[in-house]
Every structure is written in structure tokens, then in C-alpha cells.
Amino acid sequence: MAVWPKAEKARKDASLLLCLLGVLYTVGAEINTCVPSDQMECFNTYDYLDSSDIVSIRLLDGKKLNIDVNGLSGSPVCSWIRGNRTIMKSDTSHFMITSPLSEADSDQYTLTCSDHKTTIFSKTLILHVLRRRPTKPRLLLTDVGNRLSSACFMCISEDIPKPTIAWSINQNVKDISDEKAKSKVSTAYSEDKEVMCCATNTEGQECTQSYDYDFDAKETISNVTLSPGDSLLLCCKMRKSNRYATWRKDGEELNLDSLKCQNNQIKEMCLLTDKHAWKRSYLSIPKVSEKHSGIYTCSLNNKDKSFHVQVQAEGFVSAQLDERLNVLAEKKAGACLEAKLSYHPALQLCYWEDPDGNVIKCKETWATKHRTVKFCELKTSGIYKLFLEAAGKKETKEITVCVADKTEFKLEKGNNSLTYEVEIVAPVHFTWTSCKSNDSCKTRTSWHKVADGYEEHPDELCVKNVKSSLNGSQAAGFYVKFCVKNSLGIWCDQTYGLNTTASPQVSAGFLHPDSSPSMPLIVGIVIPLALAFIVAMVLCYFFRKKRQYQL
């Protein structure tokens, strides 16, 4: 029995050794694999060994490009070339890492790898370095100590180069000269609405808002999601009251005296009461951290308003975009692609790409966490793409757009049969309807479906070539009509006649322009009568001439 503990100890030691070897192997595998991050994008040669196409790479300015040549056999020496100039060569490692890139580095490059002077890999790459969208500005309180004037909202952006600051309230805005982008506006101009400030550069716009709640309104709770370092500004207000609201965090009352906002003193959290036509109580946190997550409640006259604040470090981005859009060419000027975005903390990248590879930036303004982005420059049929990035997370959505011309019918007339061929956007439903000769054919109830069909998948990107035939024996009446229907509308060709008995004496394709079965009879009577009248008039004329001559 004394031997058992030693055996158990030996087994544990062996397991520990295997575990350590596994960890070392895993670490080694991670070191030999490029992993994308906020600071780096990856290009792996292994993914393009069998491709001859030019590769397009898009990344944000300030990021590095890691060129991973692990997938190549042997011990290749690789060169990263721009024009005729070699930018860098690979060393003994399997990586080539550029310095942080800027817009000036956007160009066409060549990656060439050789083993013993034999080229084993060569690829042309087009590098697009895109400027970053602005980050979210911070919204703070300032000028709080003056009893004769209202406090001010301060909007600060630390982006370089400095973006432009804009406010949702555009009264007495004061831009402040500083190395950072700063601007302020009096709280007196936001009596009955939330305030929002936005930082804008050439790539887009990001906004920060206050969260205001009126005690007379119906809302009872608001969810607020922030990232570490964001600002938080809450406000509770009531138009008619002799008291100010009190604040609690997770049920514990906050002391107004110790947390009172003061000029030239930045506190982790501060409270401010302000009196105008409305009485307002503010809670301000200049930079939140995870410890500031919780439920903040303001109370007044036995009424509560709660804000559920969540400080979330991990970012995300998602989009909802339809898979397909069909539009008539004559209406494409008013058609738009529309995507609903949800992201956290802020969009770093947002642009559309048309089928020709043209890049168009998202242009929507005055939006915070959730927004709708549109693209209204549809030109041709093809696949349009939406590219998004937030907190290093990427999302790409595609939509197939079909720009269709007006449907045209091609008719082939056979021996008592009709055959139609039409190119139309799929999916498409087509029908043959027939009207009996003793009906008026002017009402829907006079027409009866005698054949139909459905085509779901297009032959190419959008269009389906539909071909369908009908002979007289299939028709329920003398007159027939062919119609097609898709998401863009319904189209029908003219009405034609077929002999339901399939007799060769009746020719196929008798045109029925007014849907009236008595028309041939009317024409047969009117024309002979008209000719008889003309002959009578001529005879009468010659008779009178002859009589005058005799006199």
C-alpha cells in the first residue's frame, strides 16, 4: 500500500509535464500566426497561393500591416515593393511588419518571394489607408460657480487632427482656443430638450448626448451603455416645483454638499442644481470606469426616474441590411439602400462600395449609438457592400441590387398557338388567362386562369429568361392574355384570339384591341354600307351633269 502515493505522484508529474508541453506548443503556434488587432492588420500569403487576382487591402490610418509568409515552402526571402523601390525585406522570421501607415501610404505594391533565386510567390496588392472617424467627444459641466449666470455645457474632443464641434442647440456657442477641440454653450438654452454635441471630420461624425428626463413624462427607466473613458451627464427636471431632485446610486443617497460641482476642480463625480423656467438636477461623471456601472435614481415629490448605466469595455458592431433590392431603371433616382446599425463604443469605419469598386463614406449626422445609414447613388445592377468597424470588430454586409428596364414581350405565333419569351427580374410568376367569346371581356371576372408557372432563380445576377406557350385546346375561350408579375409590378401583353377547337381555318394571333367579340361583325357591316353610299353619290353626280348638258 505504501507504493500507491508514489505512483499517484508520478502520474500527476507526467500529466503536468504534458500540460506544460501543450501550453508551450500553443504559445509557439500563437507566435507563428498573425492575429488582427486594433494596432495591426494581417495579410497571409497562404490564403492567396492559388489566386491570380489583384488583392485590395483596406485598413485604418495608424495601423501596421503584418505580412505573414508562413504558408510558403522552403526558406523564402520576400520583398515588399512600391513602384521601383523596395520598402523592406523579410529576415529570418516569417513576418514583415510595416511601420504605422497613413493616407500617404495608399498605393499599389508588389510582394515577391524567392527561394534559391526562383520566384515562388508574386502578388500585386492595392493598399487603401483610410482616415479614422472621430471618437466620441466628452460632454461636461463648466462655469458652475457664477450665481448671476447659468452653468455651461462643455464639449471636448481629443482627436488629432482636431475635428469640428457642433451643437444641437445653436445659440451663443463659444469655441475655445486650445490644442484640443473645445466648445461651450449655456445650459439656459436647453430648457425642454436633451443636448447633443458632435465631433466631425472628413470621414464622419460621432456624437455624445445628455440623458434628460422630465418628471411629468411617462418614462420610468433608461438604459445607457458607455465605454471606459466616456463621459456621463444625467439630468432630471420639473417645470413647477419648489424643490430639487435628490440622487441615489444603487439605492444609496448621494451627498449634494460633498459632491457639488465646482470650477477648476475636476471630481470623479459631481452634482449640480440649476434653476431656470425648469428646475434641473445634474449628475456628471467626466470619465467613467467599470465601477460606475449601476442604477442612478433621481427622486422628487415621491416620483422616481432611474437610469441603468452599464460601462462595457468590449465593443461590438452589427448591421441589418436586406439581401436584395429590385428597382425599375426609371425610378432608381429615388431608391436607396438602408442599413440599421448598432455599435459600441463608436464607429471607426463606415463606407459603402458599389459594384465598380467606388468607395462612398457614410454621411448620416446627429446620431449616437444606433443609426440608420443610407446609400442613394444606385447606378447599375450588382453587389453593393457596406463595411463597418468599431472597437476593432469588423462587419461586412452585401446586398444584390437589380436595376431593371421595363418588361418587353417577344411573341412567336404558331399554328393556333402563342409562345412568349420575356427577360424579367426573378422571382417571377406568369399566367395565361382566357375569356369566352360571349363575355364582354371588360371585367376581371370574365377572365379565367388556364395555365401558370413560377421561376425563382435568375439565370444571371438578376434576370430570368421566361418562355411559355399556349395552344387553342388549352384555352377556355376565344381570347387569351399573357401576364407576368414580380416584386416590381404586373405586366400584360395585348389580347389575342385562339380557336379552342384547334381548327386550322382560324389563324393564330388574332388581335383583340378593345376586348369586344362583336367588333368583326360591326366592321363587316359598316364598310359595305359606306362603299354603297359613295357609289350612289357618284352616280347621282353624273346623272345631274348629263341632264344639264341636254338642256
Q: What is the pLDDT of residues 395-425, one digit of tens each?
A: 999 999 999 988 899 999 988 899 999 999 9
Q: Where in the chain is the domain with CATH 2.60.40.10?
A: 40-130, 138-309
Whether the predicted pLDDT of 266 surpasses 90: no
**What number is the average pLDDT over the span 292-304?**
89
pLDDT of residue 15: 46
pLDDT at 5: 43
Q: Starting from the edge strand earliest in sequence, which strands make up the sheet with 463-471, in order?
A: 410-414, 417-425, 463-471
Architecture of domain 316-404: Sandwich (2.60)
Greatest distance between any 2 Cα atoms in the chain: 163
Among 86-95, 166-175, 313-322, 447-456, name the one with the lowest average pLDDT. 86-95
pLDDT at 23: 35
Average pLDDT score over the chain: 81
- Reply yes or no on whether the pLDDT at 265 is more than 80: no
Q: Which residue has the higher pLDDT, 50 or 547?
A: 50
Query: Is-contact 450 434, C-beta < 8 A?
Result: yes
Judge contact between 515 and 495, C-beta under 8 A: yes
Top pLDDT among 242 and 315 is at 315
Q: In the CATH scheme, what is the code of domain 40-130?
A: 2.60.40.10
CATH 2.60.40.3880 maps onto the chain at: 316-404
Residue 213 has pLDDT above 70, yes or no: yes
* CATH number of the 138-309 domain: 2.60.40.10
Q: What is the pLDDT of residues 147-163, one digit of tens each?
A: 777 889 999 998 877 89
Q: When comparing pLDDT for 412 and 12, which is higher?
A: 412
3-state DSSP call for residue 264? coil
pLDDT of residue 320: 94
452: nearest Cα among 436, 468, 475 = 468
Judging by beta carbons within 10 Å of its beta carbon (0-12, 13-18, 19+), is residue 444 exposed, middle or buried? exposed
The residue-averaged pLDDT of 301-319 equals 88
Q: What kind of fold does domain 410-517 have according to CATH?
A: Immunoglobulin-like (2.60.40)
- Dist CA 25 CA 19 (whole Å): 10
Please, which contacts does 98-103 make with residues 24 or more away whose CB atoms are closer than 8 Å?
98/64, 98/65, 98/66, 98/67, 99/64, 100/61, 100/62, 100/63, 100/64, 101/59, 101/61, 101/62, 101/63, 101/64, 101/65, 101/127, 101/129, 102/61, 102/62, 102/129, 103/61, 103/129, 103/130, 103/131
